[in-house]
């Protein structure tokens, strides 16, 4: 029994020692890429570039290989001016792609990396004729065209170059989304409202506020709200309705519009209401 | 008289037969006759649904397939399902944790019971060729102590299958669809395995000598053949999940089952698991021997279990030495299949796990070496090599430290947030692979040297060229070390990545040359050598703890590397084909993985204890209670 | 059983040095061979060629 106790203690202690080693190491989680809902209605170029930055460092897994020497297994894209390099490579004899400008070159290098292999970085033994890089629009990376555009925008902007990528057009994006989804829209964020009336209907403003009279439904009528409040006050009363409740009314207005409305929708509503002066 | 009796008996028989046929006929025909009497009832109506209501004169409602969903399946009948999060049953505990524990336990015992018959067969063969009954008895004992392991493997395998079908129904449905009848072949192999196992084990003493021994050896071979087939079939599932083949990019089956099985990673995994299983099995039975050695004071028994422990350790270390090369091949194939997957393993978050791997391998090598050195006290000729052991120990410890230190302990929280799944820039020059490659190759060479010295310790060479042979051996070791250091330093730090990776192959090649040269030179040099006496059992008790450290480190290492192998798929069930949308589709922190691994290691330890205990139970017999004299006081 | 030649301490040293030299040449060849097999040719001074 003594032997059993000794050996068990020894084995257990050794096991715990190994466990302890794992605690000394950085505790990093490798999250699976999350589907992000980008709000195209309020998307600015800055957001778009930030999105590209994020994709490059996370979902795109680009930094697994593209990192500074001596750790990198592919050119250090982050440290190089890709726009200038793209021009050089387009002029190179070894280039066999179809791109005519820098933006097209960068896109091509992502979806068909074999078109131009940077000297020294080809597949082992292929003498730089084959690229080891996966096609980023295919699994397992599977970036959407919009995400690829975002990465291009970031690559162009990070060295102070002109961003030539155009922002994704909400209407086009909506069409693409509905074509792709094939019914069963559950769980998808609907496209942002196109007009102020649509937005007012969507957020159910009209169920409590009369828009064309002073009649009180639940909240005050809004026909003359533009005369009572200026734009900033309007904005505040929507985003933080309970800060200043109109006299005689219960604080019943939902306080969560700030997180539901797009910036564009909010601005449309404010413009619309500001015009209502009686 | 006889004739008559026969005919009488015959008459009775025929009468009985006639009665039986009549009964049978009546049994079959009566019910149908009864129905026929009813007239209106026919077969069509008997099988028609009972409750079909329709207006008089209207045609019956046609049965149609359910709409939309069915239609979509018709268009693309074979594509892998893409379940959403709500398709994964939630039992309140992490599904991954459940499957993790069950799968790992199944694999531990599976590995054990595949490996043990393999080296048991080898030892049995040695026994046949040397005519030494001790080998035969030891082989039999190895079988005895692992026999319960077969049932335990099956129990965990069954539980694992149930857990998978319950917790991951879509995924398992897809796997069954892809592999089809292959899984039935797998099940069939278990019948063969059990059959050969029981005949092999229980027939050990019945088929012990002469031609029957060869029957017995054949049974052992067939047992191993069925066991290996089982492993190969199961491996194909794991490698299909990592690198699917025989299916198109949406997971529809386009090839036959052979093309599905023969993925790019199948053979590397087969080889790696095969070798590792032997090492693992050797380590586990070594612990048994060590335990028995420590528990007894009887010199004869101590000698027996010392020898058994030595053999087990020998098997474990011998299998362990080529393992890095098999691992290298596997990693190279992973890189060739998908550079991204390779880097996820070796350069991403999972790269940190290789630090733990380094600690474990270091433990194994140090324990193995320590045991070899302690074992030298058994022989009288070991004094000659005492000095060298200090050098070996020094090389081992320094290499081990190089292997482990650089990454760890220097990271603050801010640095961790910078890390983002990649190497950190503070990693000193020792942190990248070249330094580690140098260290690991030197450790392997040092371990081989220990092994070689141990083999030499009870012999004195008598061939004329022995001094020259020794000089050549020194040359091999010195030049090999120089070459390994040169390759690592020059290509690792002064050329590009491609050459860096390529040079590690040359390093491994150098190590292999040392092992081959060492074995060849020694086997030639110690032909007809003078053998010094050796004394089994003459070994300090503390050396036996090395035999416990070995299986613990092996078990932990196996669980760790299995986890890495499974995790390189990241958020995919079947890489690039079927996404994992379950709540557990992320790579957990290293600490969490460490907890899980420790949990399975301890569970395994307990089950192994049970297995050994049962094995010893069969040999013990309770003494008959003495009849009580007199009444109760 | 043949008698072992007594080559003396200097002889042993010389044998070791020669053995190291021979093995260095062997490993030099091995490096060229293994790197070449992987499509990574080396110059005579072992620097990457091409």
DSSP conformational letter for A66:
B
Report which of B193, B194, B177, B195 is spatially closest to residue B229, judged by C-alpha positions: B193
Distance of alpha carbon C39 from alpha carbon B499, whole angstroms: 10
Could you report the per-residue pLDDT of A12-27, keeping only the tens digit for each?
999 999 999 888 877 8
In a domain, C49, yes or no: no
Helix, strand, coil in percent for chain B, rounding step 5: 75, 0, 25
Query: Which residues neighbour B509 within 8 Å (Cβ) at sequence distance 6 or greater?
Result: C30, C34
pLDDT, mean of residues B507-511: 90
Do A205 and A144 have their domain in common? no
Residue C26 in any domain: the answer is: yes
pLDDT of residue A70: 56
Domain boundaries, chain B: 85-348+545-616, 380-408+425-533
**What is the pLDDT, as a whole number, of residue B11?**
57
What's chain B's average pLDDT?
82
Distances (CA, A) of B24 to B12, B15, B30, B32, B312: 18, 14, 10, 13, 64
Q: Stretch A202-209: mean pLDDT, rounded? A: 76
Tally the domains of chain A. 2
Q: What is the pLDDT of residue B416?
A: 38
More confident of the two residues A267 and B215: B215
Q: Which residue has the higher pLDDT, B345 or B582?
A: B582
Domain boundary pick from A153, A168, A183:
A168
With respect to residue A179, please indicate whether it lies within any of the assigned structural domains.
no
Residues A152 and A209 in one domain: no
* Domain assignment of residue A80, yes or no: yes
Neighbour-count burial for B170-209, b at 16+ CB within 10 Å, e otherwise = bbbebbeebbeebeeebeebbebbeebbebbbeebeebee
User: Per-residue pLDDT averaged across A37-53, rounded?
Assistant: 80
| Domain region containing C13 | 7-40
Residue with the larger pLDDT of the pair B36 and B283: B283
The reply to whether A160 and A106 lie within a common domain is yes
B-chain CB neighbours of A140 within 8 Å are 338, 340, 570, 572, 575-576
Model confidence over B600-619: pLDDT tens digits?
999 999 999 999 888 888 77
* Distance from chain centroid for Cα B96: 20
Give CA torsion, residues B421, B424, B430, B434, to 10 deg: 50
Please state the domain count of chain C: 1
Shared domain for A69 and A122, answered yes or no, is yes
* Per-residue pLDDT in tens (0 to 9) along chain C, 50 residues: 455 667 788 888 999 999 999 999 999 999 999 888 877 888 888 888 76
Please report whether residue C21 resides in a domain: yes
CA-CA distances (angstroms) from residue C3 to B69, B460, B528?
Answer: 89, 13, 13
Query: Which subunits have 3 or more CB–CB pairs within 8 Å of chain A?
Result: B, C
* Cα angle for residues B467, B468, B471 (degrees, 5° grid): 90
Distance from the first to the final alpha carbon of chain C = 55
Structure tokens at B271: 């080889």
Question: What is the token pair recorded at C34?
Answer: 């293994």
Could you tell me if A88 and A131 lie in one domain? yes
pLDDT at B483 over 60: yes
Distances (CA, A) of A133 to A32, A110, A126: 21, 8, 13
Instruction: Examine the pLDDT at A216 and tell me if it is beyond 90.
Output: no
Pair of tokens at residue B593: 């993985």
The answer to whether B432 touches B489, Cβ cutoff 8 Å, is: no
Select the residue of C5, C7, C35 nearest B502 (Cβ to Cβ).
C35
Where residue A266 sits, what CATH number does that domain have?
Answer: 1.10.760.10
Does the pLDDT of residue A187 top 50, yes or no?
no
- Residues in chain A closer than 8 A to C39 (CB atoms): 124-125
Q: What is the pLDDT of residues B266-275, one digit of tens each?
A: 999 999 999 9
In order of A239, B58, B351, B446, B482, the CA distances from B398 in angstroms are 64, 91, 22, 11, 16
d(CA B192, CA B197): 8
Same domain, A74 and A142: yes
Residues of C in contact with B479 (CB under 8 A): 20, 23-24, 26-27
Q: Is B474 on the interface with C (CB under 8 A)?
A: yes
Rounded to whole angstroms, the Cα distance separating A109 from A88 reads 14
**Has residue A193 got a pLDDT over 50?**
yes
**Whether the predicted interface score ipTM is above 0.95:** no
The tokens 């290492």 sit on which residue? B557
Q: Per-residue DSSP letters for B449-516?
A: HHHHHHHHTTEE--STTHHHHHHHHHHHHHHHHHHHHHHHHHHHHHS-HHHHHHHHHHHHHHHHHHHH
Q: What is the mean pLDDT of residues A240-248?
A: 71
The structure tokens listed for A155 are 């690559």
Report which of B196, B327, B192, B335 is spatially closest to residue B273, judged by C-alpha positions. Answer: B327
- In chain A, the largest separation of any two C-alpha atoms, in whole Å, equals 95
Residue B52 vs residue A51, higher pLDDT:
A51
B527-536 average pLDDT score: 83
Two structure tokens written together for B420: 């983002």
Read off the pLDDT of each residue in B499-525 and give the average, rounded to a whole number.
88
Q: Are residues A101 and A209 in the same domain?
A: no
Q: Which of C34, C39, C40, C41 to mutate to test the interface with A (most CBs of A within 10 A)?
A: C39
Q: Is the minimum CB–CB distance between A119 and chain C shorter than 8 Å?
A: no
Query: Residue A122 is part of which domain span?
Result: 40-168
pTM over 0.95: no
Q: What is the reported pLDDT for B413? A: 36
């Amino acid at each position: 029994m003594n032997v059993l106790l000794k050996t068990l203690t020894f084995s257990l202690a050794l096991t715990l020692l190994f466990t302890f080693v794992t605690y000394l190491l950085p505790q990093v989680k490798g999250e699976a890429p999350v589907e992000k809902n980008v709000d195209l209605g309020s998307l600015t170029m800055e957001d778009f570039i930030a999105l590209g930055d994020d994709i490059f460092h996370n979902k795109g897994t680009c930094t697994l290989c593209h990192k500074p020497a001596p750790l990198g297994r592919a050119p250090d894209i982050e440290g190089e001016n890709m726009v200038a390099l793209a021009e050089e490579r387009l002029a190179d004899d070894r280039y066999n792609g179809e791109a005519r400008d820098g933006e097209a070159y960068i896109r091509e290098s992502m979806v068909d990396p074999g078109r131009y292999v940077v000297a020294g970085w080809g597949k082992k033994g292929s003498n730089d004729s084959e690229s080891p890089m996966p096609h980023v629009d295919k699994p397992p990376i599977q970036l959407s065209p919009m995400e690829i555009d975002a990465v291009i925008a970031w690559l162009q902007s990070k060295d102070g170059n002109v961003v030539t990528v155009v922002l994704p057009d909400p209407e086009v994006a909506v069409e693409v989304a509905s074509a792709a989804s094939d019914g069963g829209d559950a769980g998808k964020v609907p496209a942002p409202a196109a007009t102020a009336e649509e937005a007012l209907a969507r957020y159910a403003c009209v169920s409590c506020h009369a828009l064309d009279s002073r009649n009180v439904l639940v909240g005050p009528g809004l026909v003359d709200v533009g005369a009572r409040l200026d734009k900033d006050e309007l904005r505040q009363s929507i985003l933080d309705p309970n800060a200043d409740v109109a006299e005689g009314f219960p604080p019943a207005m939902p306080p969560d519009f700030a997180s539901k409305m797009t910036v564009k929708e909010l601005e449309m509503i404010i413009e619309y209401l500001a015009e209502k002066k009686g | 008289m006889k004739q008559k009796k026969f005919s009488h008996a015959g008459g009775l028989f025929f009468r009985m037969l006639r009665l039986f046929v009549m009964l049978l006929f009546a049994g079959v025909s009566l019910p149908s006759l009864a129905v026929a009497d009813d007239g209106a009832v026919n077969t069509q109506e008997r099988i028609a649904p009972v409750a079909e209501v329709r207006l008089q004169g209207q045609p019956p409602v046609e049965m149609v397939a359910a709409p939309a969903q069915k239609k979509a399946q018709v268009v693309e009948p074979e594509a892998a399902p893409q379940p959403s999060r709500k398709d994964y049953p939630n039992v309140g505990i992490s599904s991954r944790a459940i499957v993790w524990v069950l799968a790992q336990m199944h694999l531990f015992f599976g590995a054990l019971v595949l490996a043990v018959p393999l080296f048991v067969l080898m030892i049995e063969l040695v026994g046949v060729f040397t005519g030494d009954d001790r080998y035969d008895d030891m082989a039999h004992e190895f079988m005895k102590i692992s026999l319960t392991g077969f049932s335990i493997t099956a129990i965990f395998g069954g539980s694992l299958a149930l857990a998978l079908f319950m917790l991951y129904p879509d995924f398992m449905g897809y796997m069954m669809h892809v592999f089809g009848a292959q899984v039935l072949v797998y099940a069939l192999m278990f019948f063969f395995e059990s059959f050969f196992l029981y005949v092999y084990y229980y027939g050990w003493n019945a088929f012990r000598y002469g031609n029957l021994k060869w029957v017995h050896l054949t049974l052992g071979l067939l047992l191993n053949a069925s066991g290996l087939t089982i492993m190969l079939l199961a491996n194909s599932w794991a490698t299909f999940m990592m690198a699917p083949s025989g299916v198109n990019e949406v997971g529809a089956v386009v090839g036959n089952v052979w093309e599905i099985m023969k993925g790019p990673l199948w053979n590397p995994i087969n080889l790696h698991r095969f070798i590792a299983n032997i090492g693992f099995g050797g380590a586990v039975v070594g612990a048994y021997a060590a335990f028995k050695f420590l528990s007894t004071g009887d010199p004869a028994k101590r000698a027996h279990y010392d020898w058994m422990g030595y053999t087990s350790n020998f098997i474990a270390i011998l299998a362990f030495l080529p393992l890095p090369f098999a691992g290298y091949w596997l990693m190279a194939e992973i890189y060739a299949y998908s550079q991204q997957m390779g880097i996820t393993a070796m350069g991403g978050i999972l790269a940190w796990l290789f630090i733990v791997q380094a600690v474990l391998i270091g433990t194994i090598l140090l324990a193995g070496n320590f045991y070899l050195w302690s074992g030298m006290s058994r022989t009288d000729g070991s004094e000659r090599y005492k000095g060298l052991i200090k050098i070996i120990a020094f090389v081992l410890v320094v290499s081990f430290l190089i292997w482990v230190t650089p990454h760890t302990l220097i990271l603050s929280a801010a640095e961790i947030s910078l890390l983002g799944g990649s190497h950190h820039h503070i990693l000193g020059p020792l942190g990248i692979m070249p330094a580690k490659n140098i260290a690991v190759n030197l450790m392997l060479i040092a371990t081989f040297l220990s092994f070689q010295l141990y083999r030499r310790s009870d012999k004195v060479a008598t061939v004329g060229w022995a001094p020259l042979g020794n000089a050549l051996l020194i040359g091999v070791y010195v030049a090999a070390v120089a070459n390994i250091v040169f390759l690592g330093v020059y290509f690792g730090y002064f050329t590009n990545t491609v050459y860096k990776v390529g040079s590690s192959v040359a390093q491994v090649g150098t190590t292999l040359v040392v092992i081959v040269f060492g074995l060849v030179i020694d086997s030639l040099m110690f032909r007809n050598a003078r053998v010094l006496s050796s004394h089994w059992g003459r070994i300090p008790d503390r050396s036996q703890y090395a035999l416990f450290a070995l299986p613990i480190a092996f078990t932990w290492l196996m669980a760790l590397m299995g986890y890495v192998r499974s995790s390189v798929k990241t958020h995919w069930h079947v890489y690039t084909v079927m996404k994992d949308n379950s709540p557990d589709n992320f790579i957990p922190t290293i600490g969490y993985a460490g907890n899980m691994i420790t949990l399975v290691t301890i569970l395994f330890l307990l089950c192994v204890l049970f297995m050994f205990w049962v094995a010893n139970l069969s040999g013990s017999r309770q003494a008959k209670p003495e009849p009580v004299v007199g009444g109760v006081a | 059983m043949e008698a072992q030649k007594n080559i003396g301490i200097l002889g042993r040293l010389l044998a070791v040095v020669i053995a190291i030299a021979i093995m260095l040449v062997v490993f030099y060849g091995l490096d060229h061979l293994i790197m070449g097999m992987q499509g990574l040719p080396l110059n005579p001074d072992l620097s990457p060629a091409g």
